[in-house]
Structures are given as C-alpha cells and as structure tokens.
Amino acid sequence: MLKVAKFGGSSSASGEQLKKVADIIKSDLDKKYIVVSAPGKRFGEDNKITDLLYLCHAHITYSVPFDQVYKMIVDRYSEIVKDLGIEFDLDGELNEIKEKLGKNISVDYLVSRGEYLNAKILAKYLGYKFVDAKDIVFFKMDGTLDEEKTSVVMRKVLNQAGNAVIPGFYGTGALGDIKTFSRGGSDITGAIVSMVMDADVYENWTDVSGFMMADPRIIDNPKRIRSITYRELRELSYMGAKVLHDEAIYPVRNANIPINIKNTNNPEDPGTMIINEREKLDTDLPITGIAGRKDFTVIGLQKFYMNSEVGFVRKLLSTLEMFDITFEHIPSGIDTVSIVIDNENLNGKLEKLLSEIERVCKPDALNVYKNIALLAVVGQNMAFTTGVSAKIFNSLGENDINIRMIDQGSSEMNIIVGVAEKDFEKAIKSIYAAFNK
C-alpha cells in the first residue's frame, strides 16, 4: 500500500501543528511521500506565510522598506524551529534568500520559499529526505505542467529517495527558473506525486473533517459529504469550495486514485472519499453540495430575432477572444443571451469590450450587471430526482432573493444561479435549509 499525504497550510501553521502532522505520518508507514504547504493561519486574523511573501515582493517592487514584513516571516519560522526543538540552520537558509532580495527577484521564487523552508524543517523533524520540488516538477514554455519530463524525473528521484518530504506549490519553468502553480497549488503537487508514484490513495490533510455540504464559514455545522465523485468535487471546488484546488482532480482522476480529505486536528474522523463511480456513492440525497463565489459581471444582450441570425453567438464570443477574456457561462433565450465573466478576467477591459460588442453584434439592448455572485448546486443524483430545481427556486423566492440568472449544464449535474452579492450568504443558507429539513 502506498499513500501520498499532503498537509495544507492550516496543518503546518505552527510547531504544535507540525508535531500533529509528524504523529500522523509516523503512525502509518504507508505514507511514504509527504507534500507540505507553507505555514498558514494559526487563528482567524493571522497571516499566511505565502501572503506575507507576496506582500514582501510588492514592497520590493515599489521600493518600500520591507524589513517589517520580512521580520514577521523570519519570526514565524524561528518559532516553529524552536517549538520543534530541532537543529536547523535557519539563519543559513534565510541569508541565502535575503541575498537575493533585490529589485529583480522573481515573485515566484520568493513566494515558493514558504513551502521550501517548511518542507526542509519537516523533513529534518521526521528524519525523512528533503526532495526539492524544483528537481522533480517541470513546466513547459506555456506554463502548463510538462507531464512527460515530470513523470520520468520524479519517479527516478523519489524511488531512490525512500521516504521523502516535498514542498508543494512550485517547480521549474522551461527556462530553469522557479514557477508556482496558482494559489492553493500544493494540492496539485500532491496529486501529481500520487499519479506519478502510482499511489493507492491521495490523502489531503486540512483543518476540517472532510468536504462539507456547504462552506462551514457560512453554515453552522454543515453535514459532511461521506463520498463524492471527482466530477462533483471539481464543480464545487471550481465554484469556491477551495478545500481542494480544482486542478488537483485531473491527475488522480485519470489514474483512478481515490482522494481522502482528512482532518489533522481529528485524525480519527473518516473524512471524505473522492471516487470515480457514482454507483458507489454513500448518499441518497438529491444534492451533494452547494458552493459559490462573488465577483462576477453579467453582460446581457437583447436582439429581436436573435435566434434566426446565423453566427450571432460566434460574433459575440469573438469579441471576448479579441480581448483575451474567458467566460464562465452563457445562458440564452430566444432573443436574449448573457455572458457571465469573472471580474478578474475583465481587469479594466469592460468599457472597450462593451463598445466592441455594440459594434459587432448591434444588439437592441445591452445591459451590464455588476456585483453578481454565482451559486452552484451540485449532485450526480440530481439528474435522477424530480423537483430539485423547484426546491431551489422556491427556497430563494420564499427568502425574497431575486434570481438574476439561471444556467444548467447538459450533464444535469449542477444548477447555477446568479444573485446579487448582498444576497449571497442568505441564498446559500436558504438552499441548504431547503435540502436539510
């Protein structure tokens, strides 16, 4: 039996947490490859090391003194090393980083030091080998994973290493520089190690006892999801349930490796199993989970006889292509079509995009709705159950929540609802309550 275990920032936020991590690892010899994030928050108002490193880089870029932020980082690691009581040359490591803290330091290199140092510390505490992610994770020129090179090199290095601790979140770019995944990317590193080493299970250790039916920061004590398919999980994590990065699903799903979400603070809890087959799901609830995100803009077009104008949607989408904008959903009616765009992708381009849409599509009306939140109600059982959408829309209606958009994928595995951002939490609460009476 081979297990890959990834411990997130919440599991490694302090010496005390890292001691729990070590106990978990030592109590199960199948956990051979350990992936670790940078120290996360110890309490609500605390800072994640990765955020402090980004902040430090911003100070350097704008030539603002960064000593105070840098000191906060140094203090956190000093405390961890002290609490663990290990002999660790922290000063030597920090000096190496400090020497590079000039104007031209790459942001990816600097933020990757969060996981680098944490993995080195944990390896020392466990007596495991430290394997630097820069030597086993490789990216292509376009920034995507170089799966071939990564597989060959990682397999060779890890087979020789025996038990090893690997920093998550980064690897080496095509030009030999350090590159990171997007935020939360240590989950992806864990999934890649699982795939390449052909693990029997990928354990993802965090601070909650599994994937919940809804965000526990919005719903008090939500029901735990005992088992969920990769597809459902991807929908939920993409839509904001960031327990697991949505891009971490692909490598393990392809290799058919189950993921087990577990709680470092409650290791006995079974957590959530993420598997391939719907038939083996341990649930008969019509919906599996609810997730959502704020910060969307909806652009709505109306045009009489739009449905008979050949190529209308193509023209509309070509305007997005022109500005290099991706979209989330495109619900349409007979004479209407809307595009839902993540604000991050609009990035100051909205006015220019609207004028191009006017020019190319000549709509009768063009409306923009800002501050939209999207909610996704997800479940593979939904396609086989009647009345699910009625329940969702009734619950929103009963709570006076105005629905701004509805979309349902062809898989019938999710229903997406757009609401005003101010109604976001209320909407999640009312849908959750409707399915948990």
Binding stretches for ligand ADP (CB under 6 A): 8-11, 37, 40, 184, 206-208, 211-212, 214-217, 241-243, 289
CB of 37 to ligand PHD, least distance (A): 3
Find the binder of ligand PHD among 15, 81, 150, 168 (CB under 6 A).
168
Tell whether 91 is in a known binding site: no
CB of 382 to ligand PHD, least distance (A): 29
- What are the Cα distances from residue 29, in Å, to 4, 23, 129, 162, 209? 11, 11, 15, 12, 22
- Asked if 415 and 406 touch (Cβ cutoff 8 Å), the reply is yes
**Which tokens hold the place of 145?**
């994973």
Q: Which amino acid is at 243?
A: V
Tell whether 7 is in a known binding site: yes
Tell whether 172 is in a known binding site: no
> Given the rule CB under 6 A, which of 64-72, 185-193, 221-229, 298-306 is the region that contacts ligand PHD?
185-193
Find the binder of ligand PHD among 15, 40, 222, 363 (CB under 6 A).
40
Residue 399 DSSP code: T
Name the residue nearer to ligand ADP (CB basis): 63 or 221.
221
Q: Which does 300 bind (CB under 5 to 8 A by kind): ligand PHD, ligand ADP, none?
A: none
Query: 328 in the Ramachandran plot: left (φ > 0), alpha (ψ -120 to 50) or beta?
Result: alpha
Name the residue nearer to ligand PHD (CB basis): 73 or 306.
73
Other C-beta atoms closer than 10 Å to the C-beta of 368 total: 12
**Which tokens hold the place of 34?**
């350990």
Cα torsion for 235, 240, 241, 245, to the nearest 10°?
A: 80
Name the residue nearer to ligand ADP (CB basis): 192 or 320.
192
CB of 50 to ligand PHD, least distance (A): 4
Alpha helices in 62-140 (DSSP H): 67-84, 90-99, 107-126
User: Which candidate, 326, 327, 347, 345, places its Cα nearest to that of 337?
Assistant: 327
Q: What angle do CA 90, 92, 98 make, to 5 degrees?
A: 100
Q: Which does 183 bind (CB under 5 to 8 A by kind): ligand ADP, ligand PHD, none?
A: ligand PHD
Q: How far is CA 71 from the centre of its chain?
A: 28
The annotated binding site is made up of: 6-9, 50, 115, 206-207, 217, 242-243
Positions in the binding site for ligand PHD (CB under 6 A):
8-9, 37-38, 40, 48, 50, 114, 168-169, 183-187
The annotated binding site for ATP is made up of: 6-9, 206-207, 217, 242-243
